């Protein structure tokens, strides 16, 4: 059975939604990949990798067709007892390569993430919006 690219994208997006529903508010987001929704055949996948325990690293990624030029913006809003903070990063994508970007957040907190990938014409070709809660880290003995 052969899947067309759009069908594969839908399956990936559906699978990631199930994975996220199972992990929303989970004690550990360490090692999770959250996929965005793409609406352009030049974008195979985009999203973020979440790595860490006490501090989480949120790192965007993109897999594109050769020669894709554009830009991305990533915003993370962290809300905790101490208040809220926003971190935004953006940069160019040249020939399908997204330059290094990483945002660190500590726990406990509620995290709201938004990422947009645009082509050179300004058209949004991939979008990710996700929220999850990070409980207090486990006490180490």
Average confidence (pLDDT) over 18-24: 40
Domain ranges of the chain: 5-134
Place of tokens 């987001």: 29
Question: DSSP E strands: which ranges in 52-108?
Answer: 55-64, 70-80, 83-94, 97-98, 103-106
How far from the centroid of its chain's Cα atoms is residue 49's Cα?
6
Confidence label for 29 from pLDDT (cuts 50, 70 and 90): confident
Distance CA 42, CA 135 (A): 37
Distance CA 84, CA 40 (A): 34
Q: Is the pLDDT of residue 18 over 50?
A: no
Distance CA 124, CA 127 (A): 7
Per-residue pLDDT reduced to its tens digit, 82-133: 999 999 999 999 988 887 889 999 888 999 999 999 999 999 999 999 998 8
The CATH fold assigned to 5-134 is Immunoglobulin-like (2.60.40)
Per-residue pLDDT reduced to its tens digit, 39-84: 899 999 999 999 988 888 999 999 997 789 999 999 999 999 999 9
């Amino acid at each position: 059975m052969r899947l067309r690219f759009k069908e594969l994208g839908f399956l990936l997006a559906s699978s990631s939604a199930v994975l996220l529903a199972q992990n929303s508010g989970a004690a550990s987001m360490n090692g999770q990949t959250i996929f965005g929704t793409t609406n352009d055949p030049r974008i195979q996948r985009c999203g973020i990798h979440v790595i860490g325990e006490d501090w989480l690293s949120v790192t965007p990624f993109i897999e594109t067709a050769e020669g894709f030029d554009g830009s991305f913006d990533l915003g993370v809003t962290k809300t905790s007892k101490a208040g809220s903070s926003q971190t935004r990063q953006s940069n160019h994508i040249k020939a399908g390569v997204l330059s290094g970007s990483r945002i660190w957040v500590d726990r406990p907190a509620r995290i709201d993430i938004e990422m947009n990938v645009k082509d050179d014409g300004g058209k949004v070709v991939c979008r990710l919006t996700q929220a999850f809660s990070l409980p207090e880290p486990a006490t180490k003995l």
